[in-house]
Amino acid sequence: MNSTAQLEHIEIDGCQLEYLWCREIVEPFQRTVVLLHEGLGCVQSWGDFPQLLAASTGLAVLVYSRVGYGGSGPTSMPRTPDWMHHEALVVLPALLEKFDIGSCVLIGHSDGASIGIIYAGSKGQGNLQGLVLMAPHVFLEQVSLTGIDHARLMYQTEDLRDKLVRYHGSQVDGAFWGWNNFWRRPDIRDWNIEDSLDKIDLPVLVIQGADDEYGSIAQLDSIESRVPVEVERHFLENVGHSLYRERPEFVLNTINRFIGRL
């Protein structure tokens, strides 16, 4: 079985987005898995997770960096309050159409999970077969703000900026402050996408760490109570925000079983 993996760029919504295909060459592709990265992530920040996912599922895996992240083109600042909806309802559909992706599974982490929820709750997601949410946010809570303030301190006084430079290069400051300043805006304290949950009618898998510095079990409770179909949920003790790094074997096996049941 051969595999290919090469970073390339594609123009979506007037911006060059970097992307990576990780595909185990099996014909025909029954589904495509699309990864949506976290608020400070990009293609490279996933590490070897996309390749491992392609190998374990036997499916094509597409991962891309949103505008302003990694090797994608720059974005305008400050971010607008509806930027996640734009990513979910404009950029993501355009990307799927450009690659002629039919049946797909979305796997989102943190902000990427929120984007996946908005997309799954929209009218234009007929090609979506399943939704995997890692450390999702559906409303803003105090633990999120505390974590965001802590990250701000680490960026200013510790080595967080140096760690992020390897992923975002010369636009690291834009990537960090675009994310951090957005969540600290007074006008988004009532940010909430729970209404999108009410419209999701496809299988959902949710994984959350008990020690997540950006969200609590209340996020899972909301998702499970409002999604009209059954939700598979996992709440992992002694695990933080980066589930796929901290518990890669569990996450891969759980996703693999979930996709296998679709």
The 10s digit of each residue's pLDDT in 151-164 is 999 999 999 999 99
Q: pLDDT tens digits, residue range 222-259? A: 999 999 999 999 999 999 999 999 999 999 999 999 99
With a pLDDT cut of 90, the percent of the chain lying above it is: 89
Q: Return mean pLDDT, the chain.
A: 93
CA distance 100 to 94: 10
Q: pLDDT tens digits, residue range 28-61? A: 556 899 999 999 999 999 999 999 999 999 899 9
Per the model's pLDDT, the better-predicted residue between 112 and 123 turns out to be 112
CA distance 156 to 173: 11
pLDDT value, residue 5: 59
- Whether pTM > 0.85 for this model: the answer is yes
CA distance 125 to 179: 26
107-128 average pLDDT score: 93
224: its two tokens: 């499970």
Complete domains list, the chain, with CATH: 3-261 (3.40.50.1820)
CA distance 186 to 224: 28
Q: What backbone phi and psi angles, to 5 degrees, belong to 103?
A: -70, 130
Q: pLDDT tens digits, residue range 177-187? A: 999 999 999 99
Going by pLDDT thresholds of 50, 70 and 90, the confidence category of residue 27 is low
Note the residue count of the chain: 262
pLDDT value, residue 2: 35
What residues have CB less than 8 Å from 174, skipping those under 6 apart? Answer: 68, 74, 75, 77, 168
